[in-house]
């Protein structure tokens, strides 16, 4: 008696483009996957640093003009937003960025002096300096 083992079909038949699917998932924001957010939504990248005197926030806004960006402080939050509409053209073969509406909120630490916040916009980079209150800065005490 000859026993023949049934061959399993190759996984390639069922997942011919698995690499493309993984690449798409890895390069798509979690918000777009979970919430299925529209493609017109964009979230600008931000860097935040801190030194002894201030926090510094830098936001990448290529293609924006300073008149299209608003900065507000309300209830302990710094809000940066734009109501700029994105391009309506839909004939993209590849689209990795757009210039749609956005809003980013940042909780302000209690040691930030809200009256001395400075913002500049140059070469597509919004830079906001959040000065630390003088009484919140570290003090050096000399020993006698």
Structure tokens at 52: 């002894």
Which pLDDT score, from 0 to 100, does residue 140 have?
78
* Contacts within 8 Å (CB) and 24+ apart, 134-141: 136/110, 136/111, 137/52, 137/53, 138/52
Measure CA 135 to chain center. 32
Q: What are the average pLDDT values for consecutive 10-residue runs of the chain, which has 144 residues?
A: 53 51 57 50 85 93 90 93 76 73 90 92 95 80 85
pLDDT score, position 134: 83
**41-85+99-136: CATH number:** 2.60.40.790
Q: What's residue 104's pLDDT?
A: 92
The pLDDT of residue 69: 94
Q: CA–CA separation, 88 vs 38, rounded Å?
A: 13
Q: Which pLDDT value is given to residue 1?
A: 47
**Residue 57 in contact with residue 106, Cβ under 8 Å?**
yes
Check residue 76 and report its DSSP letter. T
| Domain segments of the chain as ranges | 41-85+99-136
Q: Which residues pair with 130 in a beta bridge?
A: 55
- Residue 131: the pLDDT is 93
């Amino acid at each position: 008696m000859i026993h023949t083992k049934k061959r399993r079909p190759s996984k390639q038949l069922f997942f011919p483009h698995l690499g493309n699917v993984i690449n798409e998932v890895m390069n798509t924001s979690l918000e777009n996957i979970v919430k299925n957010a529209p493609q017109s939504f964009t979230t600008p990248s931000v860097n935040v640093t801190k030194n002894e005197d201030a926090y510094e926030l830098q936001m990448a806004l290529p293609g924006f003009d300073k008149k299209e960006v608003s900065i507000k402080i309300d209830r302990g939050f710094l809000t940066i937003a734009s109501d700029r509409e994105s391009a309506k053209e839909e004939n993209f073969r590849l689209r990795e960025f757009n210039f749609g509406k956005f809003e980013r909120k940042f909780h302000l630490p209690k040691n930030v002096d809200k009256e001395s916040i400075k913002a500049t916009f140059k070469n597509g980079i919004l830079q906001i300096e959040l000065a630390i209150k003088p009484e919140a800065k570290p003090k050096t005490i000399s020993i006698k």
